[in-house]
Amino acid sequence: MTIPHLDPGDPAYRANPYPVLAQLREADPVHWSPALKGWVVTRYEDVQTVMRAAAMSADRITPFYASLPSETRSRVESLVRYLGRWLVFRDPPDHTRLRGLIARAFTPKALADIRPNVEAIVAHLLERIESTGRDEIDLVAEFANLLPAYVIMDMLGVPRAMLPQFKAWSDDIRLFIGTAKATPDKYERTRRGVEAMADAFRALIAEHRLERRHDVLQTLIDAHEEGSGRLTDDELIATSILFLFAGHETTTALIAVGSAALVTHPAERNKLVALDRPEAIASAVEEMLRYDGPTPAMVRVALQDHTIGGKRIASGDRVYTMIAAANRDPAVFHQPDRFDISRSPNPHMTFGFGTHFCLGAPLARLEAQIALPRLHRAYPEMDLCGGDLDWADGLVLRGPAKLMVRLGRRSAS
Which alpha helices (DSSP H) does 67-181 contain, by range?
Answer: 70-73, 77-83, 94-102, 108-132, 139, 146-156, 163-177
Q: Any idea of the CA torsion for 80, 81, 84, 86, to the nearest 10 degrees?
A: -130
pLDDT at 404: 95
Task: Name the burial class of residue 366, with classes exposed (0-12), middle (13-18) and buried (19+) by CB atoms within 10 angstroms of its CB.
Answer: buried
pLDDT at 368: 98
Residue 2 counted as domain residue? no
pLDDT at 252: 95
Confidence of residue 1 (pLDDT cuts 50, 70, 90): low
pLDDT at 221: 86
Give the whole-angstrom CA distance, residue 153 versus residue 169.
14
Residues of the chain with pLDDT > 90: what percent? Answer: 63
CB 251 within 8 A of CB 258: no
Between 321 and 244, name the one with better pLDDT: 321
Estimate to the nearest angstrom the gap between the alpha carbon of 246 and the chain centroid. 6
Residue 411 counted as domain residue? no
pLDDT (tens digit per residue) in 94-153? 888 888 888 878 888 888 999 999 999 999 999 999 999 999 999 999 999 999 999 999
Residue 235 counted as domain residue? yes
Question: Lowest-pLDDT range, 84-88, 181-185, 259-263, 300-304?
Answer: 181-185
Residue 5 counted as domain residue? no
Q: How many domains does the chain have?
A: 1
Estimate to the nearest angstrom the gap between the alpha carbon of 8 and the chain centroid. 17
Q: Residue 268: give the domain boundaries.
A: 44-307+326-406
Terminal CA-CA length for the chain = 53
Kindly give the interhelix angle for 233-263 and 278-291, rounded to the nearest 10 degrees.
Answer: 100
**In three state form, how does the secondary structure of 191-227 look?**
HHHHHHHHHHHHHHHHHHHHCCCCCHHHHHHHHHHCC
Confidence of residue 180 (pLDDT cuts 50, 70, 90): low
Amino acid occupying residue 303 = L
Nearest to 363 by CA among 83, 98, 102: 102
Asked if pLDDT for residue 246 goes beyond 80, the answer is yes
Asked if pLDDT for residue 181 goes beyond 90, the answer is no
Residue 89 counted as domain residue? yes
pLDDT (tens digit per residue) in 263-312? 999 999 999 999 999 999 999 999 999 999 999 999 999 999 999 999 99
pLDDT at 227: 59
pLDDT at 283: 97
Asked if pLDDT for residue 229 goes beyond 80, the answer is no
Give the whole-angstrom CA distance, residue 72 versus residue 63.
14
User: Which range among 73-77, 188-192, 333-337, 395-399 has the greatest average pLDDT?
Assistant: 333-337
- Return mean pLDDT, the chain: 91
CB 149 within 8 A of CB 248: yes
Between 179 and 84, name the one with better pLDDT: 84
Give the whole-angstrom CA distance, residue 8 versus residue 186.
15
pLDDT at 338: 98
> Which three-class secondary structure state does DSSP give residue 136?
strand
pLDDT at 363: 94
Kindly report the CATH number assigned to the domain that includes residue 267: 1.10.630.10
Residue 256 counted as domain residue? yes
Residue 134 counted as domain residue? yes
DSSP secondary structure of 323-362: HHHHTT-TTTSSSTTS--TT-SS----TT--GGG--TTHH
Residue 275 counted as domain residue? yes
Phi-psi region of 277 (alpha: psi -120 to 50; beta: other; left: phi over 0): beta
